[in-house]
Amino acid sequence: MAIEIRQVRNKKERKQFITFAWQIYRNDPELNKYWVPPVIDDYMKTLDTEVFPLYDHASLALFTAWKDGSMVGTIAAIENRRHNQVHSDKVGFWGFFECVNDQKVANALFDAAAKWLKGKGLNAMRGPVSPSMNDQCGMLTKGYDSPPVFLMLYNPPYYNDLVLNYGHHIGQELLAWYIDQKLIDISRLRRIAEHVKKKEGLTVRIMNMKDFDREIERIHDIYNKAWEKNWGFVPMTDKEFHFLAKSLKPLANPHYIYFVEDRNKRTVGFSLSLPDVNQALKHVNGNPF
């Protein structure tokens, strides 16, 4: 039977778009063992062009694929005008890709995204980016035998075949690392850190939650400057960064957020650690409340 592509037009269809993933992962015992369902309310906000600040400078189209009366795949097409301004590019993006193991369905979804992006005057397509490089991006190609940690991705192995068989090629490899503290010589690391701090006149402090907004401004400034030359990076606007900070604030522990200051009390670096809430989210089926 022919594959039908439909564009998402309303809130009800947007929720169907998000919850389709359950069909892919819940029906496969091996995938279900590791997959962490997304928080539905968070995804609803991310895909709401009236709410999510990215869409102040980006456009979004959501498509679903149907076969024999059932939904069999999803994809988003994103025109990020700020990206193209920063990089002097004419690139469009695709993301939120979920699909049954059927190359014809995948091709139909990619064709729909490509057609929409071409209509915006763009001449290349890159993904998965869901919905920007400052959000979730990339596709898992190794490490299927362990669950994803918070903010990381998980997908079936066959997704790589669907993408490559369509004609995409690898544009950039991304790495995620597990660090086992038992393998680190902590005492040696502390000695080196103390030596550097003394030599350079540096001090380390934790985040002041009572001065949250100003602390976020310090993080925002360093984040944009540090990532400026990285592949595909687009500086986050004030509105985008504060939206992200507000969403992560309930998870933030000041004792896991450190600032480095120089002799003049100027903030020159920060580090941020978050608890792996995926260990809890795995058991709430997309609704933590």
The highest-level CATH class for domain 4-176 is alpha beta
Residue ranges covered by each domain of the chain: 4-176, 181-272
Low-confidence ranges of the chain (pLDDT < 70): none
Question: Going by C-beta distance under 8 Å and a sequence separation of 6 or more, which residues neighbour residue 105?
Answer: 3, 65, 67, 72, 73, 99
The Cα-based distances of 237 to 54, 211, 260 in angstroms read: 9, 20, 23
8-27 pLDDT tens trace:
999 999 999 999 999 999 99
Q: Would you state the structure tokens that stand for residue 176, as one six-digit string?
A: 């995620």
pTM: 0.93
Residue 288 is predicted with a pLDDT of 87
Length of the chain: 289
Residue 248 is predicted with a pLDDT of 86
Please choose, from the candidates 203, 196, 193, the residue with its C-alpha nearest in 3D space to the C-alpha of residue 267. 203
Residue 178 is predicted with a pLDDT of 85
- The residue behind tokens 């902590």 is 186
